[in-house]
Amino acid sequence: MSTPIDISEHRGVRYLHFGSEWIQGAMRIRRPNDLELAYTREMMAGLLLREAPWPRSALVIGLGAGSVVKFIRHHLPNCRVQVVEIEPRVLAAARQFFALPPEDDHLAIAIADGAEYVLDHDRHFDYILVDGYDRHARAGALDTFPFYLACRQRLSDQGLLSVNLFGRSRGYHASLERLNGAFDDRMVAFPSCDSGNVVAFAAAGATVTHGLPDLRAAAQGLRIRTGLDLADTVARLAASGTLPGGMLVL
């Protein structure tokens, strides 16, 4: 059975659903390039961890409403983006209802299984962002040790993986263990945001080392450049005890 695609609007925000109450994407109609949902903002927190002109390339697995893709294309125009989306009707909805930009030299879209794409291709990326779920909020093959290991192998020396762990209430810790194992403990899970989503980051290649003052300064600069405000993310990291000695090390 194919996935139902539903569109709703409320108070100036348009939402994407896959035949359930789960929100699969959102766009504030008057600001289509903003990241409306908190977890999508946190998936871009890699911009706090590497310095510009990073990232030069990004792989986005799971298109949804195209929020992350639009943000990257608008604010990081030199970044080459490869999107992999398994459902053609999601792509059609993103184009029709969510202002997804057309493909060009810096944006390519493949209709394919995200796990198979990573396993079958040998291109390397600075940033891999994984947000792929079915109508029941199940990640399937996108939450397996072989997939995470393949993602690690597809990352450049400056590479970061960002994974949305929404909807994995029973397998949440097992998901983190798989991710941590694939990246040899170079992983951090950000504290849950208001929506209940948890975004995890994993690194390959060059070490990431930032103290809280560095992260706060990076968040301020990012807000000035792009309007993306991650000050609350940094504050929750500071309050959570996630960073031993106040240092984020990946």
Q: Residue 160: which of 190, 183, 140, 141 has the closest Cα?
A: 183
How far apart, in whole angstroms, are the C-alpha atoms of residue 247 and residue 250?
10
Q: CA-CA distance, 51 to 218, in Å (whole number)?
A: 9
What is residue 181's three-state secondary structure? helix
Q: Letter for the amino acid at 110? A: A
Q: State yes or no: cis peptide before 191, omega within 30 of 0.
A: no
Beta strands in 57-198 (DSSP E): 57-61, 80-85, 107-111, 125-130, 155-164, 187-189
Q: Could you give the C-alpha distances from 222 to 76, 219, 242, in angstroms and in order?
A: 12, 5, 22
Nearest of 63, 197, 46, 78 to residue 130 by alpha carbon: 63
- State yes or no: is 131 an active-site residue: yes
- CA–CA gap between residue 215 and residue 48 (Å, rounded): 6
* Active-site position among 113, 131, 134, 232: 131
Which active-site residues does the annotation give? 131
